[in-house]
Chains A and B, each alone.
Chain A
Amino acid sequence: MVSADENAISHASYDSKIEGNIIFTQVDAAINWMRKNSMWPMPMGLACCAIEMMASACSRFDLSRFGAEVMRFSPRQSDVMIVAGTVSYKMALSVKRIWDQMPEPKYCIAMGACASSGGMFRSYAVLQGIDRLIPVDVYVSGCPPRPEALIEGMMKLQDKIQAEKSTAAQIRPGKAEMSVDIK
């Protein structure tokens, strides 16, 4: 692009008359902002919690307000696994396998008492909390939790993602490690 004024410095691709304002920010803040507002869940519906999870995504509670309405039934396209329900030992390794197929960055919400701790199933057949197999970011209490509680969990996870310093940690290792401050 050639400017009329020979002394003015102009950017080759930016035209302020067409594109409006620029916002200066940090890479981390921008990436986190994009990530947290487009979390595609992997619905791991294993018991009655799945009904509440479905209700969360439906019109009354409308999880799409948080960018998380796109339930992906392929782990390769999803960001957050919502483990909703009782994880039996027979199902446990399948859950782990699906989790392993999800691309990074990935998050896990343990929804309800069973997924968090085995719940009322103190039994030979039930895994006593999905955190024995995969790392859990947010635990949602309830049996089953109401959709509001799951949405609260989603918002907590958004706070957690917003506080991440993943890029800064790569540029200056040790200076800024992953931070998980949740107010």
Chain B
Amino acid sequence: MTSEKAANKLKEKFSAAEIVEFRGEYTAIVALDEFRAVIEYCRKDLNFELLLDITSVDQYGEDPRFEVLYELATVDDAAHLRVKVKIAEEVEVPTVTDIWGSADWHEREVYDMMGIKFAGHPNLKRILMWEGYPFHPMRKEFPLEGLPSEMPDVGFSDSAPMADGPFVTCSGGGGSRKAAEPRSRAFTKPEEA
């Protein structure tokens, strides 16, 4: 089965799902209440055995704010389908760890970096940052340089200096891609500036 056929079958079954095609890649955008049924249909009927990845996007300022994306694939004929579910803040997504065991760590990463919780996950704790770290660093409101935090004997963090330097791009892009490129500017030491 090709990706296109899989997407069409999914659309037949779930008419509310929106199918988006871009350069041969198919994305099914589904509502949260339908999501679990769609995922089970993809696994059992469309035979997507492989969950490649789970990612999330913070569409800050939009409503609903977050998107969670599931990259599905078949092993035999390399069909690929992306399932996207949009969720508001403080809304939990049902886990898919009972369908694909590999979802365990992917969901933990999404929880760690974006703060999206997965209902029914067997072990939903942080995976990259330490347990007790107070922030979710991939959220848009989190600054690139980080924020200070302190947990005695466990971990600490601080904010990095983002002053002028050879590796720092202009904030706001400098008007164009070219001007934003750090090497387009001469490097001046802070005391000379």
Interface residues, chain A, with chain B CB atoms under 8 Å away: 89-90, 92-93, 118, 120-128, 132
Contact = CB atoms under 8 A, between A and B. Distances in A.
Nearest to B135: A124
Contacts of B147: 124
Interface in B145-182: 145-147, 153-162, 165, 167-168
A122 B155 contact: no
Contacts of B100: none
A118 B157 CA distance: 13
A90 B144 contact: no
B14 interface: no
B157 A89 contact: yes
B145 A92 contact: no
Nearest to A128: B160
Contacts of A124: 135, 137, 142-147, 157, 159-160
20 contacts: A89-B155, A90-B130, A92-B156, A93-B155, A93-B156, A118-B160, A120-B167, A121-B160, A122-B145, A122-B160, A122-B167, A123-B144, A123-B146, A124-B137, A124-B142, A124-B144, A124-B157, A124-B160, A125-B146, A127-B158
Given A122-B144, A124-B145, A90 B129 contact: yes
A124 B155 CA distance: 13
User: B interface, how many residues as a size bin?
Assistant: 20 to 34
Contacts of A126: 160
B128 interface: yes
Task: Tell which of B159, B160, B162 has the most Cβ of chain A within 10 Å.
Answer: B160
Nearest first, the 8 A-B pairs at minimum CB distance are: A124-B146, A122-B160, A120-B167, A89-B157, A124-B137, A128-B160, A122-B162, A90-B130
A90 B155 contact: yes
Contacts of A127: 158
Contact of B128 (A90, A93, A121, A132): A90
Contacts of B142: 124
B145 A123 contact: yes
Nearest to B162: A122
A10 to B, nearest CB: 61
Contacts of B146: 123-125
A12 B145 CA distance: 69
Interface in B30-57: none
A118 B146 CA distance: 13
A181 B147 CA distance: 39
A122 B168 contact: yes
A157 B71 CA distance: 52
Contacts of A92: 155-156
Contacts of A125: 129, 137, 146, 157
Nearest to B129: A90
B153 A93 contact: yes
Contacts of A118: 160
Nearest to B130: A90
A128 B144 contact: no
Nearest to B168: A122
Given A122-B160, A122-B162, A123-B144, 17 more contacts: A89-B158, A90-B128, A90-B129, A90-B130, A121-B160, A122-B145, A122-B168, A123-B146, A123-B160, A124-B137, A124-B143, A124-B147, A124-B160, A125-B146, A126-B160, A127-B158, A128-B160
Contacts of B158: 89, 127-128, 132
A52 B147 CA distance: 32
